[in-house]
Structure 1
Amino acid sequence: MTKMDFSTINKTTTQSYNEQKNMIKRVFKGQSVLCKVCGQALLLKLPVAHQPSTLSGIYCKKGCTDLELDMEHVN
């Protein structure tokens, strides 16, 4: 049985995860972050009280970047 080398996949996945995590941190701090594809500013959409079906996340107007975040509205 041949051993599979996942080191390249793991490295790429880790790098992508860290980039997204840092981008999310910058957006939550209120810093201006641009979409890597279209160059437009990324927008943060927060959950709305009494509307559980409202999606929250980070996105650009064109939809190139669309990160759905699992968040709850807190009073």
Structure 2
Amino acid sequence: MADFSLINKNSSHSFNAQKRLIKELFAGKTIPCDKCGKPLSASLPAANEPHLLGHIRCPKGCTDIELELE
């Protein structure tokens, strides 16, 4: 039987790191991209366009996180 505990632990760590990054960015902190060091920016869809996704990106495109909004 396969042991998925390490995979689950790494996945949980990654999820929590992204959650913390999103929280800090929306709190107004400047967060640099892990790869290029450029500041990350967040964009959210307009209220009348709920079908679009939000994004967190760096100017070079190294970081690109899609946000599902409810």
Please classify the TM superposition score into its range, dividing by the shorter chain length: 0.7 to 0.9
Give TM-score, length-normalised by structure 1. 0.81
| Correspondence 1:1-75 to 2 at 5 A | 3-51=1-49, 54-71=52-69
Matching residue's letter, 1:63:
G
Q: How many pairs are equivalent?
A: 70
Displacement of 1:5: 0.5
Extract unaligned runs of 5+ from structure 1.
none
Displacement of 1:71: 2.6
Aligned identity (percent) is: 47
What is the root-mean-square deviation of aligned Cα atoms in Å? 1.6
Greater gyration radius:
1
